[in-house]
Structure 1
Amino acid sequence: MTLTTRKPTATPSWPVLLIAGGEKTGKSWTCAQASASPKVGRTLWVSIGETDPDQYGAIPGADFEIVEHDGSYRQILGVLAEIASLPKPAGGKPTLLVVDSMTRLWDLISDGAQGWANARAKNNAEGIITMDLWNKANKYWSQIVQAILAHDGPVLLTARLEPVTVLDARGKPTPVKADKIKTQKSLPYDVDGVVEMPERGQAFISGVRSVTLQLKGRTEFKDFTVDELWSKLGLEDALPRAVSHVAPEPGTETAIGGTGA
C-alpha cells in the first residue's frame, strides 16, 4: 500500500455546533435566527420529535426549508445522506443544516434497542438491554453522525440540557445538581463546539475547536447569536470539512422499525 499524505490547510472548515438548552430557552429560535445570516445561503431544517418550526419563519430575516420525513430512522438517515450529497450551491454560500433534536433521535434509537430486548424476552416481559444491543444502537447512532459530518457546510444540532444529581466518590447521590446534555454520550466529542443555554437569554461556550477563538474554560457569550460565533471563529474563508471516517462493517443494518419519535 502506498502512503498518501497531505499538508494541513491552516484554514478552518464550517463547524458542527451543538446547542444544548433547557426547555424553551431558545434553542430552535437561535437556529432559525442563524438562517438569516449573510454567511449562508439555503437552510435545510430536519425536525425530529419536535414541533415543526413553522412559526419561526416569522423571525425577521429567517429563511429555511423544513425537510419532510416519516419519523423513522431509515428516512431520517436517508434525508441526512441526501443533504450531504447535494451539489455545492451556486454563488458560493454554503447550505446550513439544522437537526432538531438529537435528544429525540437518541430516544428513538434507544426505544429501538428496548424493542430488540423485548423481542428476546419470554412471556411478554420487558427485556434487559444488554451490551450487545447497546453496541448495535451505537452503530445506528454512528451512521447518523457520519451522515451529518459528511455535509459540506455549517451544521447546528440541538439537544436538551437537564439537571442531574452529582454523585460523590463512592457513587452516592449528593444534594448538588449539574446540567447534563441528554443525548448519546459521544456527541459532545464529535462536534466542533458546544453552546449551553441553561436559561433564556443566557449562553455559555463550554468548548470549541478553534485557533482564532481560544477559551480558558466555560465562557459566557453575551447577546449570543450563531452568526457572531461564526465571525469569532474566522470562517470568512472556510474550507470543506475533512473527516477521517471509520468504514462500517459489511452487512451493518440501516433501519430501526417503527415510525419513530
Structure 2
Amino acid sequence: MNAPPGTARPPVIKLKTRRPTGVVPWPLLLIEGEEGAGKTYSAAQFSGSDRIGQMYWIDLDEGSADEYAAIDGANYLIIEHDGTYRDILEQVEAIHTEARRAAAAGEPPVVLTIDSGSALWRMLTNWTYERGRRTKKNRALLLQDPDAAFDIGRNLWNDALERWSRIIYLLRTLPGISIVLARGKQVSATDDNGQPVHNRSEWKVSAQKDLGFDSTCWVRMKRNTDPQVIKVRSLRMRVDQRKPLTLRDFSIEDLVFNKLGCSVESQPRIMPALSGDLVQPWLTRVAELKAKDALAALWRSVPDPSNRLSREEIATIRAAAEQRAAELDNPHSEMGGGPLTDADKLRAAADRKAAEQDADAEQ
C-alpha cells in the first residue's frame, strides 16, 4: 500500500548483528572477607606480576596503600583524590581512558584496585542520610526531637545508587582488570522487618547489595581457612549452588590467567550502557559542563535531526541545560546540594566577574 502523497516514509531499520568472539573478557573481581584475612595483601602481591601492566590503587579509607608497597615485588601507583565522589569518579574515568590506550597499543592489561568498595558505599550512604536530614519535613521533626527516627525518600536512595552504578559500570567495562576489596563478616540474620532472628546468622558483605552479582568472580577470604569462590561467571570454572569452590595456594594471578583463562587477547565485556530513552546521556553531558558558553552551544545543538530526539526530549534536555546554567551562577556543595560557605560564594562571584571582564576585553 502506497503512503499518501506528501507523507514522509519512516526510515528502514537495519538489523545489527555480529559474530561472538569466544574470547574470555577481563574480569571484575570482588575479594571480600574478614579483617586480616589477606585481601589487601593479595592485591598488592598481584601488582608485582610480570603478566600485567600498571596497577592503580584507590585507597578510600583503609590507609594501607603506602605500607603494603613494602611487599616484595609490589609495584603500583596510588591515586590521589580529595575524598569527594566527583574527584574519585573522575580518577576512575581517567584510569579507564589509560586502560583503553594500553589495550589499543597491545600492552599488558592495566589493573585498578579499589580499597574498599565498603568505604565507597558507606560514603554514599552517609551522603543520603545527610540529604534526608535536610528535607523540610525532617528538619521540622528533628527540631522538636534531635534523636527522632526519620524517613529517607526513595528518590534520595536512587541518587546514591546512580552514583554507585556509574563507577561499577566503568569497572565492568574497563579494558583491563578491576579489583574491588570489601569487608565481609558473619552477622545476625534479620527478618523482613529488620528485626534479628534468634539463633540464626548470615554472611554480610559491607557494600551495595548487588556488588556480588555485578562481579565476574566473587572470592571470600577468612582467617585460618583457604579462600573460597562464591560465584564465578566463566566456562572454565564452576561453582555448584551453596558449595563454594575452595582455592588452595590462592593468588590473583593464578585466578585470572590460569583458572579464568584471561590472556593478552582478552577484551572488556561489550556492554553499552542501558538507557530508557535518549535523554540520559545528554543529561550526563549537561551535568559535566562547567562553562555557560558550552551549555549554550549544547542548548542550540539539541534540535539537530541527527540526534533523533523527540520534541519532549529536546524540551527536557534544554530545561536541564538552563537549570545547570543557573547552578553555575549559584553553586552548591559537591556532596548534596547544601549551600557553599561565604568564602566559596565570594570566590565564585569573583570568578564570574573575571570571566565577564575577559569577555568584554575580547569584544
What is the TM-score when the length of structure 1 is the normalising length?
0.90
Q: Confirm or deny: 8 A CA contact 2:23 2:267 kept in the other structure.
A: no
- The letter of the residue matching 1:212 is R
- Give the percent of matched residue pairs that are identical in Structure 1 and Structure 2: 30
Secondary structure class of the residue paired with 1:211: coil
| Residue number in structure 1 paired with 2:246 | 220
How far the C-alpha of 1:150 sits from its partner, in A, is 3.0
For 2:167, which of 132, 144, 147 is the aligned residue?
144
After superposition, where does 1:83-232 map in structure 2 within 5 Å?
83-86=95-98, 87-88=101-102, 92-120=107-135, 121-123=138-140, 125=142, 127-167=150-190, 173-200=197-224, 202-216=226-240, 217-230=243-256, 231-232=258-259
Between 1:238-247 and 1:177-186, the stretch displaced more is 238-247
- The letter of the residue matching 1:240 is Q
Over 3 Å counting, the alpha-carbon distance change for 1:102 and 1:10 in structure 2 is: same
For 1:251, which of 283, 300, 305 is the aligned residue?
283
Q: Deviations over 1:212-242 (max 9, x none)?
A: 1123231111121101111111112442112
Unmatched 5+ stretches in structure 2: 1-12, 289-333, 338-363
- The letter of the residue matching 1:225 is S
Secondary structure class of the residue paired with 1:251: helix
How far the C-alpha of 1:174 sits from its partner, in A, is 2.7
Over 3 Å counting, the alpha-carbon distance change for 1:52 and 1:3 in structure 2 is: farther
- The letter of the residue matching 2:247 is F
Which of 1 and 2 has greater Rg?
2
Q: Give the whole-Å Cα distance in 2 for the aligned partners of 1:100 and 1:156.
A: 9
After the TM superposition, list the runs of 4 or more consecutive aligned residues in structure 1 that deviate by more than 6 angstroms: 168-171
Over aligned residue pairs, what C-alpha RMSD do you find? 2.3
How far the C-alpha of 1:201 sits from its partner, in A, is 5.1
Select the structure that is richer in strand: 1
Q: Deviations over 1:2-30 (max 9, x none)?
A: 23211111110110000001112111111
Q: Deviations over 1:197-224 (max 9, x none)?
A: 1225531000111111123231111121
Q: Deviations over 1:170-193 (max 9, x none)?
A: 976031222111111111111101
Q: Which has the higher contact order (CA 8 A, sep 6+)?
A: 1
Over 3 Å counting, the alpha-carbon distance change for 1:172 and 1:25 in structure 2 is: closer
Q: Confirm or deny: 8 A CA contact 2:131 2:336 kept in the other structure.
A: no
Q: Confirm or deny: 8 A CA contact 1:72 1:257 kept in the other structure.
A: no
Q: Give the whole-Å Cα distance in 2 for the aligned partners of 1:200 and 1:70.
A: 36
